[in-house]
Structure 1
């Protein structure tokens, strides 16, 4: 688990190591929708909360459906936020959580305005503007693009993410900068590269991208590599410090 702590906002990304789940979800699977033993998922989520020093009830999970829907939350959620792929808050202590296994986990924060967000940017969501809509929602709550810091987590890299040429052209049309060539010389997508370009066009210049490739790096779950597998997480929260 990597914790990129920057008070008064903290961000963390998990790996697949150190949990209770058995193969093919071994071992730190945080997804409760992939067929894993619910008791194992609950144990892993409890460990995540314990390691980060947070109350498990303060975690906000999403029912991620590859939409471009953004939801503002103002308190704990008893159930995953329905049919949304980004959550935004100004509330201290809420741990906004995004689950991934090749899609890009995007964590965003305006420290001075006290606005944070977590977005799930898969191919469809990124193509349809989930990150742009997240930035727009943050602005509505007082954030300034010039002050927003963004961290893009481990995800499928362009060198490995092979797609049909027509699909790449379609994504490139909506998310310029994302079409690329894989290491094999075939048509590919680098969603992180497209998102960085999009963020810069929105005036968001404080952007960092973790270069690790979930398809080839076995420290991470990868739907493309494994099919049936678990999910790692990106977590962001306001500390109030």
Structure 2
């Protein structure tokens, strides 16, 4: 069974790999403990790395995964590490999983960018956290997420987010106010100097093979963007 999709890799002193889990793995907070534990074991088998989740809260805090990584990192919406053999996971079900890498140093990041996190600046915060440790992130991956034609929001909410990230303003396919989180993320990456951005062109609401809260409500599970490095 294929668990990892849209795989990519960059080869240097370390190999940096990126992939996205499929709908068969239940990685949501609502999943039973053993179900989620088995999903993490599957990720570990597929990547050969120790998987680390975040307690995601739609903010802009960045957690450092250090010499003693555990299965669940600190509360926050971004993680960074310079360790090889560690797989950072950003979970989503319409939000944008963003993965970042510095191929030169091997530093990596996983970011969960929902509407509040986009407006709060979680993506530039992750880039800044990497740079504060001497890394030079130059490659970013934007995973499957709800598209701007499908993400309807009240006009006041659209104005609030677009005031911070103008590129996120959109109109749905049924001609109502919307937000394009992916466009907002790409604009933030460009502003941060990340020139090599690789986008998975999938709308989670439209494609039933991906979890979508907009489509399935509380029944939606979560998939994850995964990034790891190894020798």
Q: How far 1:216 sits from its partner (Å)?
A: 1.3
Match of 1:231 among 200, 222, 226: 222
Partner Cα separation in structure 2 for residue 174 and residue 84 of structure 1: 21
Match of 1:114 among 106, 123, 132: 106
Q: How far 1:4 sits from its partner (Å)?
A: 1.7
- 5+ long unaligned stretches in structure 2: none
1:219 alignment partner in structure 2: 209
Partner Cα separation in structure 2 for residue 68 and residue 84 of structure 1: 7
2:116 alignment partner in structure 1: 124
Match of 1:70 among 62, 65, 79: 62
Pairwise mapping of residues 1-241 of structure 1 onto structure 2 (< 5 A)? Answer: 1-2=4-5, 3-7=7-11, 8-17=15-24, 28-31=25-28, 33-34=29-30, 36-54=31-49, 58-145=50-137, 148-228=138-218, 229-240=220-231
Greater fraction of residues in strand? 2
Partner Cα separation in structure 2 for residue 62 and residue 198 of structure 1: 22
Q: How far 1:153 sits from its partner (Å)?
A: 0.2
Partner Cα separation in structure 2 for residue 43 and residue 79 of structure 1: 12
Q: How far 1:205 sits from its partner (Å)?
A: 0.9
Q: How far 1:13 sits from its partner (Å)?
A: 0.5
Contact 2:63 2:75 (C-alpha < 8 Å) held by counterparts: no
Partner Cα separation in structure 2 for residue 77 and residue 204 of structure 1: 27
SS at match of 2:127: helix
- Cα RMSD, aligned residues only: 1.4
- 5+ long unaligned stretches in structure 1: 18-27
Contact 1:59 1:94 (C-alpha < 8 Å) held by counterparts: yes
What whole-Å deviation, never above 9, does each CA across 1:172-192 have from its counterpart, x for those lacking one?
111120001111111111111
Q: How far 1:143 sits from its partner (Å)?
A: 2.1
